[in-house]
Amino acid sequence: MSQDAQRAGPLVTIGISTYNRAASTFPASLESALAQTYPELEVLVCDNASEDDTERLMRSVRDPRVRYHRHPRNIGASANFDSCLDMARGRYFVLLHDDDLLEPTFVERAMEAVARGGDVGVVLAAVELIDADGNRQGSVAAPPDGLPAAELFLGWFARRFSFYLCTTVFHRERLQHVGGFESPEGLFQDVVAIVRLVARHGYHALPETGGSFRRHANSRTAAGAARRWARDARFLLDTLIEEMPADAQRLRAAGAPYLSITSYRYVRAIESADERRELYREVFELFDRSYAPWRFVARALRRSVRTALARRLAGARSLVRASRAERAA
């Protein structure tokens, strides 16, 4: 990109979609965006008609890189994501949820990868997983750089890495061209966007951590929610096959079982046994009978037994250590 083009506007927009988190996680998310070491930056906050002090907080921010837009009414999460995208000025775009965090050098490293390798659809990075209180729970690796598109998603199905919004940089115009963040149920819309952009324009990967994704103890007990996740997962699989028809057979063979299991996890949390049975059957049929629900239930049971045994063993070892320490004293 020429110097004149860079001066025409911010190269990267960080869009923060927020709702009612002024007193909790939003200030830290905003701070992590403003702490970026990359100079050509704007931070766009799209407030989905918050009823708390979000507007007052934003009126107190004096950083010239910040733009603030408040919707007069709640337009829904997915529509607010797209409003961030539509109002962005940067050539590249990061969508940051108001409870996630960015590493200070993330954007700088992403733009260095673009400078070395050229424009792509997305730049992907590793992620830290944190709980609701910000405590570290683990990490998820970034994919290897330079994989063919189908191999990237086959690696995802093999659970070698995953995709998170807070560690993904999108080419803004290309994202808009493929429809933005769009899926029927608005649940897998970020991965759908990644699929379309990688298939058409490729990607770069950064091995270092790009940000932190916050996990919340949310409820998955509603049958309607389980159906929505399953339907969106099927749309994602169909999008993969549509975008990479030459690899359709391999993507279907690996993706249908993986997304069946993902959907079964939501079904398993439903309290009603009758509803669970019905939804297990629906998911089984939705994904072409590729992974039987009894296999999922049996695997989950084995995992629960192993976890319980490990806890008992750890408790027994603790008692032994305590007994030895008491005798030694």
State pLDDT tens for residues 270-302: 999 999 999 999 999 999 999 999 999 998 888
pLDDT band for position 325 (cuts 50, 70, 90): confident
Environment class of residue 283 by beta-carbon count within 10 Å: exposed (0-12), middle (13-18) or buried (19+)?
Answer: buried
How many domains is the chain built from?
Answer: 2
Is residue 106 one of the residues assigned to a domain? yes
pLDDT digits (tens, 9 = 90+) for 237-265: 999 999 999 999 999 999 999 999 999 99
> What six digits make up the tokens of 85?
């995208």
Residues 188 and 230 both lie in one domain: no
Predicted local confidence at residue 318, as pLDDT: 78
Residues 125 and 194 both lie in one domain: yes
pLDDT at 323 over 80: no
Is residue 311 one of the residues assigned to a domain? no
Give the percent of the chain with pLDDT over 70: 95
9 or 294, higher pLDDT: 294
Residues 77 and 169 both lie in one domain: yes
Predicted local confidence at residue 218, as pLDDT: 57
Environment class of residue 268 by beta-carbon count within 10 Å: exposed (0-12), middle (13-18) or buried (19+)?
Answer: middle
Predicted local confidence at residue 221, as pLDDT: 56
Residues 136 and 205 both lie in one domain: yes
Residues 160 and 285 both lie in one domain: no
Identify the weakest region by mean pLDDT among 3-12, 67-76, 77-86. 3-12
**How high does pLDDT run on average in the chain?**
92
For the chain, where are the E strands, in sequence order?
Answer: 12-18, 41-47, 66-70, 92-97, 101-102, 122-130, 136-140, 168-171, 203-214
| Closest by CA position to 300, among listed 267, 251, 259 | 267
Q: β-pairing, 92-97 with 66-70?
A: unpaired
Start-to-end CA distance of the chain, whole Å, equals: 71
**How many CA atoms, within 13 angstroms, populate the side-chain half-sphere of residue 108?**
10
Residues 180 and 277 both lie in one domain: no
Residues 244 and 197 both lie in one domain: no
Q: Residue 183 is which amino acid?
A: S
Environment class of residue 181 by beta-carbon count within 10 Å: exposed (0-12), middle (13-18) or buried (19+)?
Answer: buried
Is residue 178 one of the residues assigned to a domain? yes
Residues 154 and 209 both lie in one domain: yes
Is residue 299 one of the residues assigned to a domain? no
Identify the weakest region by mean pLDDT among 37-41, 64-68, 296-300. 296-300
Which residues span the domain enclosing 233? 223-293
Other CB atoms within 10 A of residue 289 CB: 10
Residues 132 and 181 both lie in one domain: yes
Q: How far apart are CA 84 and CA 80, in angstroms?
A: 6
Q: How far apart are CA 152 and CA 255, in angstroms?
A: 12
Residues 229 and 181 both lie in one domain: no
Residues 43 and 183 both lie in one domain: yes
Is residue 83 one of the residues assigned to a domain? yes
* Residue 92 phi, psi (nearest 5): -115, 155
Q: How far apart are CA 36 and CA 249, in angstroms?
A: 42
Is residue 326 one of the residues assigned to a domain? no
Other CB atoms within 10 A of residue 3 CB: 7
Q: How far apart are CA 213 and CA 165, in angstroms?
A: 8
pLDDT digits (tens, 9 = 90+) for 95-125: 999 999 999 999 999 999 999 999 999 999 9
pLDDT at 5 over 60: no
> What six digits make up the tokens of 132?
């609701």
Domain final position from 174, 190, 214: 214
Is residue 324 one of the residues assigned to a domain? no
Q: How far apart are CA 185 and CA 95, in angstroms?
A: 19
pLDDT at 2 over 50: no
Distances (CA, A) of 51 to 19, 72, 125: 8, 11, 34
312 or 15, higher pLDDT: 15
Is residue 307 one of the residues assigned to a domain? no
Output the pTM of the full model.
Answer: 0.89
Distances (CA, A) of 115 to 92, 103, 274: 12, 20, 56
Residues 113 and 185 both lie in one domain: yes
pLDDT at 3 over 80: no
- Looking up residue 138, the CATH number of its domain turns out to be 3.90.550.10
